[in-house]
Chain A
Amino acid sequence: MNKSQLIEALAKAENLPVKKAEEVVNTFFGDMEEALVKGERVEIRGLGSFKVKNYDGYTGRNPKTGEMINVAPKKLPFFKVGKELKERVDIEQ
């Protein structure tokens, strides 16, 4: 499912104009994005939490050429799945 399918599904489920559903979806993910860019934590009950982690730089190797390269330190969001979603996804099939 992609973003436009998500918008359509929300519009249908809530009987909203597609334009309005799009605003809601954009606000939802836009707010999370803004918080993460500021380095803030995000916690959505039932879904999970996001936290920006700092990774140190290291010397790596280009696997193709074997050449040594320096990998710069970086920040990456880390997602921890919430209890409800974790349990719902892990049902025996």
Chain B
Amino acid sequence: MTLTKASIISHVADDDMGRSKAAHVVESLLEIVKYSLQKGESVLVSGFGKFSVKGKNERRGRNPATGADLMLRGRRIVVFKTSTVLRDKINQG
């Protein structure tokens, strides 16, 4: 079983928030998270974890298929660190 946006939206929807409004609000929440990370700002959700942006330096790499040398440019990547609270809950079972 995989949890997807659709099931979260159904769970968010209730008497005073219909399903289409709930879908819109969940998209808006995701947009706020993504925009923060795009600006390079971390998003810390206590009890869940922290999303942050890390810079990677340019480095020499290799095409694994052809073996050809190539230069990988510096990049910015998203990293996620699980909160110790969630980590402990996952390891309890």
Task: Using CB atoms and an 8 Å cutoff, list the residues of chain A in contact with chain B.
Answer: 1-3, 6, 9-10, 13-14, 16, 20, 23-25, 27-29, 31-33, 35-37, 39-48, 50, 52, 74-77, 79, 81, 84-86, 88-91, 93
Q: Is the CB of A1 within 8 A of B93?
A: no
Chain B residue with Cβ nearest A47? B30
Find out whether the CB atom of A40 lies under 8 angstroms from the CB atom of B3.
Answer: yes
Q: Pick the contact of B86 from A36, A41, A74 — CB < 8 Å?
A: A36
Partner of B25, one of A24, A46, A91: A24
17 cross-chain CB contacts under 8 A: A1-B36, A3-B44, A10-B29, A24-B26, A41-B1, A41-B3, A43-B3, A45-B4, A47-B30, A76-B82, A79-B78, A88-B37, A89-B38, A89-B53, A89-B77, A90-B77, A93-B76
Residue of B nearest to A9 (CB): B32
Contact between B29 and A28 (Cβ–Cβ < 8 Å)? yes
Across the interface, B47 reaches (CB within 8 A) one of A10, A33, A85, namely A33
Report the Cα distance A71→B77, complex, angstroms: 29
> Are B5 and A44 closer than 8 Å at their CB atoms?
yes
In the complex, are the beta carbons of B7 and A88 less than 8 A apart? no
Task: List chain A residues, Cβ under 8 A from B34.
Answer: 46-47, 84-85, 88
Contact of B1 among A1, A40, A76 (CB under 8 A): A40
* Distance of A72 Cα from B33 Cα, bound (Å): 34
